């Protein structure tokens, strides 16, 4: 019932009530400031409805009753004493539902599970960011009505959300009543945590102000402008927490409601938020088409560099565009109050916390397509720097220790009963790596001088106090890498290699960027960078951590789960096995470029691919890139499609909770890093393409230091052209050798015989 239509647009054909939760995720509309799940205008239920504004958080009681049924869970994962104490946690707030539109035809109100749905089509077009639903509904007595619902979150004004409902009687002249307003009976984590302060209807418009009630008590408000069809206004509609304006329409061939909502929180203004929202809302153009035209002009410019075109494979082309759409709406464009969360703004799960994948899996998407948005993510980390310093101080270390799992304040928000995420200190090299990557691709010296080098310096101080000197070298002990199946290990390869890179890169940039260092500190950083242990065997294999290769190469299985995901029996002991949850070592060759010796890349990739169970969605794009870079294009295609459809096909069975945002961002990166072999350098770009026989043509764009470069791969021919900005130096590495080219406006460069 759900898939791509003939135009490659994600589309639902036919209504199934059981599909509501997952499609609410997939049909989320948003603009980086707000995210609105794809619930229905006429009704929304638990697990389905959701309206979120970035940074609008409060505290909930989080009920958790996990049970340790094996040694690994008992000893390494669950802190059962912590579980007894754990109760409250910060969370995003599911705000009142402003989508509400009720349509009554004759004496019957339209609900899809009543009467008979004769036609149903719902689609979300990534090229416009508009969700459209077309329904032909039979009320059960033979009266047929066509209803068309349209909606979008505006990219022209981040506080504006727009809806339109068109009602066309097909074979009757029954009276039509339309109610439009908001539903305040909405829960977060199963609890009511917002309180309505004012709800009123005036001349067909609805105003709602409310406040979170627990810890932060942030205020917010909606101004809902309704342009009803002609008719008789009725008394204010109030029912079970819903408030709306109601109109009994005059007889007509079609009834059209335009509904424009202005959403604001106390984070948006220094004025009283209710007054600010009322004033801004009153000034809105109340026509849907005018708002849509303004939105489309901004959105198309923003999305254009993100939109990869794949010819010859409708599935790959359509799902990649949809994945990039979801990535585009996941990130803040205009403020740094909060970062990019694991579920974007598509659901409550993970409380919309920010993790390490923000810098490694999500940030690069925006570095290469929308650098100003990438900058906001890094400014969020700068906002959290004072708390990061406090985090380090509490643990007895110098500098700053960023929270592995953070919300608005930067405090550590890892669930208190989970042991090893506290040991994932690689976050303190992931963030500096993201900063260096941003600088390399943008050349933004002002950012580095004012913010970036300060963040990195504090992280460097932390590492200088965190390393242990023994055996004539520096080591990093008692950590957990990105692979959470192996906690409390020594010398995790991913962590050590990234830390060494951060130290070296920081030293190299201090003088050019005028960042002051004492001679003593310079010597100390250089010494640790030089003598930090980088695990590598004589045969070129990189052990994921000390003792990894001595572990068992198997794991007892209880059948096969999703894809290669293993299901543990009670005796399944991950920490005694080489089976890994997600890539660690492979990241060093794919998503981070920290100077790992690539002469044994293929051997390491061969080994770790077989050990990885892919139980983390972040695996798929990493494996796609590694497959392409090692010439395994069939494997590339499989991993690539898994990355794009992780939620559309619900590969891990939890898509109703929200999209896997980091995995979806990896769709574009799989093309850029895998197929085009893209790498940024200080003096230009490098391309080492890997032609794929399954696609006729692949066209992508990348932004490098303010210039937009068009990349096209067709068979064994690579074409490059500069679409905007200053000339760019490029090197193409192919079978015929290496070719240096200078890209300038109006000139396309082609390199053939790539294999």
Q: Which residues contact 554 (CB under 8 A, 6 or more apart)?
A: 577, 579
Region 735-753: mean pLDDT is 85
Residues 292 and 342 in one domain: no
How far apart CA 732 and CA 37 sit, in angstroms, is 43
**Catalytically annotated residues:** 484
What pLDDT is attached to residue 203? 95
The lowest-confidence range among 168-172, 466-470, 562-566, 582-586 is 562-566
Give per-residue pLDDT as tens, 36-68. 999 999 998 888 999 999 999 999 998 887 878
Clarify whether residues 33 and 176 are in a common domain.
yes
Q: pLDDT class for 755, splitting at 50, 70, 90?
A: low
Asked whether residue 342 falls in the same domain as residue 196, the answer is no
Residues 6+ apart with CB under 8 A from 706: 442, 443, 725, 726
Q: List CB contacts of 417: < 8 A, sequence separation 6 or more.
A: 64, 66, 78, 79, 80, 82, 83, 86
Q: Specify whether the CB–CB gap between 497 and 596 falls below 8 A.
A: yes
Which helix (H) or strand (E) covers residue 543, if one does? none
DSSP letter for 689, please.
Answer: -
656-706, pLDDT tens digit by residue? 999 999 999 999 999 999 999 999 999 999 999 998 999 999 999 999 999
Report how far residue 404's alpha carbon sits from residue 469's, in angstroms, rounded to the nearest whole number: 25
Phi, psi of 733 (to 5 degrees): -105, 115
Length, in residues, of the chain: 755
pLDDT, one tens digit per residue, over 562-621 is 433 444 444 457 888 999 999 999 999 999 999 999 999 999 999 999 999 888 999 999
- Regarding whether 402 and 270 lie in a shared domain, the answer is no
* Cβ partners under 8 Å of residue 173, min gap 6: 251
Phi (first) and psi of residue 90, to 5 degrees = -70, 150
Domain assignment present for residue 651? The answer is: yes
CATH number of 177's domain: 2.70.98.40
* Cα–Cα distance, 290 to 455 (Å, whole number): 43
The overall average pLDDT reported for the chain is 94
Query: Residue range 413-437: average pLDDT?
Result: 92
Domain boundary among 654, 675, 696: 675
Residue 296, domain extent? 2-50+94-304
Q: Indicate left, alpha or beta for 115 from its phi (over 0: left) and psi (-120 to 50: alpha).
A: left
CB-based contact 28:341 (threshold 8 Å): no
| Residue 229 shares a structural domain with residue 368 | no
Q: What mean pLDDT do residues 365-390 have?
A: 98
Contact 344, 35 (CB under 8 A): yes
Task: List, in sequence order, the alpha helices (H) in 630-674.
Answer: 633-644, 661-669
What gap in Å lies between CA 471 and CA 196, rounded to an integer?
Answer: 63
Is the pLDDT at 714 greater than 70? The verdict is yes
Same domain, 298 and 343: no
Residue 369 lies in a domain: yes
Give me the residues paired with residue 732 across strands: 687, 739
Give the model's pLDDT for residue 561: 41
Same domain, 365 and 296: no
Provide CB contacts within 8 A for 40, sequence distance 6+: 20, 99, 112
On whether residue 99 sits in a domain, the answer given is yes
Is 690 part of a structural domain of the chain?
no
- Contact of 406 with 472, CB cutoff 8 Å: no
Looking at residue 571, its pLDDT comes to: 45
Q: E-assigned strands of 511-598?
A: 557-560, 566-568
Kindly tell me if the per-residue pLDDT of 240 is higher than 70: yes
pLDDT of residue 753: 65
Distance CA 617, CA 99 (A): 31
Cβ atoms of residues 651 and 352 within 8 Å: no
Q: Which run of H or of E encompasses 721?
A: strand 717-724
Q: Are residues 347 and 282 in the same domain?
A: no
Alpha-helical segments (H) within 336-404 = 357, 363-369, 371-383, 385-394
How would you label 515-552 residue by residue, b for 16+ Cβ within 10 Å and e otherwise? bebeeebeebbeebbeebbbbbeeeebbbbbbebeebe
- Looking at residue 554, its pLDDT comes to 80
Q: Quote the CA–CA distance of 454 and 399 in Å, as a whole number.
A: 10
Q: Does 385 lie in the same domain as 262?
A: no
Core vs surface per residue 646-655: b (16+ CB within 10 A) or e: bbbebbbebb
pLDDT band at residue 348 under the 50/70/90 scheme:
very high
pLDDT at residue 76, as a whole number = 84
Tell whether 322 is covered by a domain.
no
End position of a domain, from candidates 675, 693, 713: 675
CA pair distance 343, 659, nearest whole angstrom: 5
pLDDT at 614: 87
Per-residue model confidence as pLDDT tens digits over 498-556:
999 999 999 999 999 999 999 999 999 999 999 999 999 999 999 999 999 999 988 75
220 three-state secondary structure: strand
CA distance 21 to 529: 49
Average pLDDT over residues 720-746: 91
Residue 377, helix vs strand vs coil: helix
Does residue 342 lie within any of the structural domains?
yes
What is the pLDDT at residue 568? Answer: 43
- Check which CATH number belongs to the domain holding 448 and give it: 1.50.10.10
pLDDT range class, residue 751, cuts 50, 70, 90: confident
| Same domain, residue pair 17 and 126 | yes
Residue 411 shares a structural domain with residue 468: yes
Mean predicted confidence (pLDDT) in 310-339: 96
> Phi and psi (nearest 5°) for 634?
-65, -45
User: In this structure, is residue 739 part of a structural domain?
Assistant: no
Rounded Cα distance between 196 and 219, Å, is 10
Same domain assignment for residues 146 and 39:
yes
Q: Under 8 Å CB-to-CB from 137, ≥6 apart: which residues? A: 110, 112, 115, 116, 117, 118, 144, 145, 146, 147
Percentage of the chain exceeding pLDDT 90: 88
Query: Distance between CA 752 and CA 102 in Å, rounded?
Result: 59
Last residue of a domain, one of 283, 304, 325: 304
- Domain count for the chain: 2
Predicted confidence at residue 559, as pLDDT, reads 44
Asked if residue 730 belongs to a domain, the reply is no
């Amino acid at each position: 019932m759900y898939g791509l239509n003939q135009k490659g647009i994600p589309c639902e054909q036919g209504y199934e009530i059981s599909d509501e939760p997952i499609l609410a995720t997939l049909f989320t509309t948003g603009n980086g400031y707000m995210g609105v799940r794809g619930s229905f205008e006429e009704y929304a239920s638990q697990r389905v409805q959701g309206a979120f504004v970035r940074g609008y958080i409060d505290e909930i009681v989080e009920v958790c009753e996990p049970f340790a049924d094996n040694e690994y869970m008992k000893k390494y994962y669950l802190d059962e004493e912590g579980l007894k104490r754990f109760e409250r946690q910060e969370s995003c707030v599911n705000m009142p539902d402003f989508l509400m539109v009720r349509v009554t035809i004759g004496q019957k109100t339209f609900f899809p599970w009543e009467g008979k749905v004769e036609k149903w089509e719902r689609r979300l077009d990534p090229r416009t960011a508009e969700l459209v639903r077309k329904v032909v509904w039979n009320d059960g007595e033979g009266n047929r009505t066509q209803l068309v619902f349209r909606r979008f979150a505006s990219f022209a004004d981040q506080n504006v959300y727009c809806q339109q409902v068109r009602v066309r009687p097909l074979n009757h002249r029954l009276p039509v009543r339309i109610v439009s307003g908001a539903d305040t009976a909405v829960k977060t984590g199963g609890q009511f945590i917002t309180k309505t302060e004012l709800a009123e209807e005036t001349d067909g418009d609805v105003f709602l102000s409310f406040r979170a009630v627990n810890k932060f008590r942030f205020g917010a408000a909606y101004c809902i402008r309704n342009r009803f069809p002609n008719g008789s206004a009725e008394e204010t509609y109030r029912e079970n927490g819903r408030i709306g304006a109601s109109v009994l329409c005059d007889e007509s061939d079609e009834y059209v409601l335009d509904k424009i909502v202005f959403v604001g929180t106390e984070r948006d203004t220094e004025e009283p938020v209710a007054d600010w929202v009322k004033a801004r809302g009153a000034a809105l153009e109340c026509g849907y088409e005018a708002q849509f035209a303004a939105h489309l002009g901004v959105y198309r410019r923003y999305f254009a560099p993100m939109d990869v075109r794949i010819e010859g494979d409708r599935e790959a082309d359509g799902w990649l565009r949809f994945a990039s759409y979801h990535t585009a709406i996941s990130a803040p464009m205009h403020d740094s109050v909060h970062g990019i969360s694991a579920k974007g703004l598509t659901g409550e799960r993970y409380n919309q916390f920010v993790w390490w994948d923000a810098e490694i899996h999500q940030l690069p998407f925006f570095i290469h397509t929308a650098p100003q948005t990438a900058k906001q993510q890094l400014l969020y980390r700068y906002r959290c720097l004072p708390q990061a310093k406090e985090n380090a101080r509490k643990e007895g270390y110098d500098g700053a220790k960023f929270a592995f799992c953070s919300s608005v304040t930067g405090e550590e928000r890892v669930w208190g009963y989970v042991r090893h995420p506290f040991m994932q200190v690689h976050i303190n090299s992931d963030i500096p790596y993201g900063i260096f990557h941003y600088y390399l691709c943008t050349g933004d010296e002002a950012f580095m001088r004012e913010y970036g080098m300060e963040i990195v310096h504090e992280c460097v101080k932390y590492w200088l106090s965190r390393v242990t000197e023994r055996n004539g070298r520096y080591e990093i002990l008692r950590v957990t890498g990105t692979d959470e199946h192996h906690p409390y290990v020594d010398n995790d390869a991913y962590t050590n290699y990234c830390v060494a890179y951060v130290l070296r890169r920081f030293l190299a940039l201090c003088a050019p960027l005028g960042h002051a260092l004492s001679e003593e500190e310079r010597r100390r950083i250089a010494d640790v960078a030089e003598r930090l242990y980088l695990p590598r065997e004589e045969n070129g294999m990189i052990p994921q951590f000390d003792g990894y290769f001595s572990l068992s190469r198997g794991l007892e299985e209880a059948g096969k789960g999703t894809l290669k995901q293993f299901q543990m029996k009670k005796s399944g002991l991950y920490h005694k096995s080489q089976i890994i949850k997600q890539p660690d070592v492979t990241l060093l060759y794919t998503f981070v470029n920290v100077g790992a010796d690539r002469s044994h890349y293929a051997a390491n990739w061969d080994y770790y691919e077989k050990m990885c169970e892919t139980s983390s969605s972040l695996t798929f794009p990493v494996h796609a890139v590694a497959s392409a870079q090692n010439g395994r294009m069939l494997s590339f295609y499989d991993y690539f499609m898994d990355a794009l459809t992780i939620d559309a096909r619900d590969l891990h069975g939890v898509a109703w909770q929200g999209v896997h945002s980091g995995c979806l961002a990896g769709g574009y990166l799989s093309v850029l890093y895998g197929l085009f072999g893209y790498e940024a350098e200080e003096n230009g770009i490098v391309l080492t393409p890997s032609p794929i026989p399954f696609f006729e043509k692949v066209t992508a764009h990348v932004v490098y230091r303010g210039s937009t470069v068009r990349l096209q791969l067709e068979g064994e021919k690579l074409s490059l052209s500069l679409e905007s900005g200053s000339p760019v130096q490029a090197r193409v590495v192919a079978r015929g050798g290496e070719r240096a080219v200078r890209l300038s406006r109006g000139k396309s460069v082609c390199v053939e015989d790539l294999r």
